[in-house]
Structure 1
Amino acid sequence: MSTSRRIVAWAGLSLDGYTSGPDGPAGDSWLHERALHPQTAEYFEGIWRGADTLLLGRTNYEGFHSVWPGITRDEETDPRTRELGRWLDATEKVVVSRTLTEARWENSRIARDLVSEVEELRDQPGRDVLVANSASVIAELLRLDLIDDLRLFVIPVLVGGGLRLFPDGVDIRFTTAGVAALGNGVVGLHLPRC
């Protein structure tokens, strides 16, 4: 039995396979509204509580850092969201970037080489390593055959273009371990490697 940590990719996507639409994050209300819905947040909680390291690309890292510390301190924030913000603050965050020179968010560090970083993380003691909605990192990990578990929330919308999650030319088999039809129209999928 393997004792290495699992690499778990979590992402929201449209029916046509995009994590961001043609107008980029500023036009992704279809994603943000569903991701912030209480039922999606509850579903996601079951995933992030199983991880103790977050692996992010530069864009997601900077986006998360720009909003989450403020959400965590806001008195109007619901308890589940505030707890997620506290977890994000306290959790080790590894930012994969060739251009970032400083990681200012607490418990953050920069990694230049994705493969060696994933190999090191797998060998360290701990819980899951969660790749949270960083499409470029997830795509590269899929190309390298380094994803152990896909956790997707599929939103019933066709956006017609944008940032695709799954790269061409990748042949990996997954099995279905769980399907959750959430009341807000989202379908949660748990797909571990075969």
Structure 2
Amino acid sequence: MSETTSAGAARKVAAEVTVSMDGYSSTGPQDDMSWAMGHIASGQSELYYEGIWRGVSTALLGRTNWEGFTSVWPAITNDPASSPRTRELGSWLASVEKIVFSTTLEQDDLEKAEWTNARVSRDAATEVRALKSGPGRDILVLNSASIIQTLLEEDLVDDLYLTVVPATLGGGLQLLPDGYASTWQLASATAFPSSGAVALHYQRP
């Protein structure tokens, strides 16, 4: 991700997501992510992900990830046993501008969490178009497949960071929308020997 956005240039939208070999981002609403934790908890993953989030000034996520992240990340961030990179990521997540897309959450619900600088939005496509033309660095969707699907259908994703872990789920929430057809260029591929995962960075041609 770029560290700055040039004056007058549109902000880029990146989507980062971890998926199984059969293309699912989770097993469903109660997914505990145990199928992906061997990769997510690795030091190699921390280093790779840091190269993405440090160039971002706005994070996007859906209700499920908001509720899941805010329930576990404050404790992880404050745990002395967490690595320095993990604590830095937690501090960034807590303070960066966050847009939470939900039809059920209200602003008061967000303000009950320890994380700050978050607001609710109902319309992902309209919101992201406005963000792209406004000031700031890049925009990142945090592993929220439903938001990524909407933005892909609206042709609003510039960079797709797809990490494939060596597991199959057999069902759950698919990353790509049904009938979605598109063309991308491979920007980079990174293998993680410790977990067996592969990270693929695609960009619009």
TM-score range, shorter chain: over 0.9
Q: Structure 2 CA distance, aligned partners of 1:23 and 1:63?
A: 10
Give the aligned partner of residue 86 of structure 2: 81
CA contact (8 A) 1:40 1:186 kept: no
The match for 1:53 among 50, 58, 63 is 58
Correspondences of 1:15-164 after superposition (within 5 Å): 15-21=21-27, 24-26=30-32, 28-102=33-107, 103-104=110-111, 105-164=115-174
Distance 2:154 2:136 in 1: 22
Count of matched residue pairs: 193
- Give the partner amino acid of 1:89: A
Q: In the alignment, is residue 3 of structure 1 matched against residue 20 of structure 2?
A: no
What is the alpha-carbon distance in structure 2 between the residues aligned to residue 71 and residue 160 of structure 1?
Answer: 30
Q: Which runs of 4+ in 1 moved over 4 A?
A: none
Tell me, what secondary structure is at the counterpart of 2:200? strand
Matched, 1:190 2:195: no
Superposition deviation, residue 60 in structure 1: 0.5
Q: Distance in 1 between matches of 2:67 and 2:38?
A: 20
> Normalized against structure 1, the TM-score is what?
0.94
Verify the 8 A CA contact 1:51 1:130 in the aligned structure 2: yes
Q: How far apart, CA to CA, are the structure 1 residues paired with 2:116 and 2:176?
A: 31
Deviations 1:35-56 (CA, angstroms, capped at 9, x unpaired): 1211111111111111111000
Alpha-carbon deviation of 1:187?
A: 0.4
Unpaired stretches in structure 1, ≥5 consecutive residues = none
For residues 154 and 91 of structure 1, do their structure 2 counterparts lie closer, same or farther at Cα, with a shift above 3 Å needed? same
Aligned to 2:3: none
Give me the whole-angstrom Cα distance separating, in 1, the residues matched to 2:89 and 2:96: 10
Q: Report the TM-score when normalising by structure 2.
A: 0.90
Return the alpha-carbon distance in structure 2 between the equivalents of residues 172 and 128 of structure 1: 22
CA contact (8 A) 2:125 2:150 kept: no
Identity %: 48
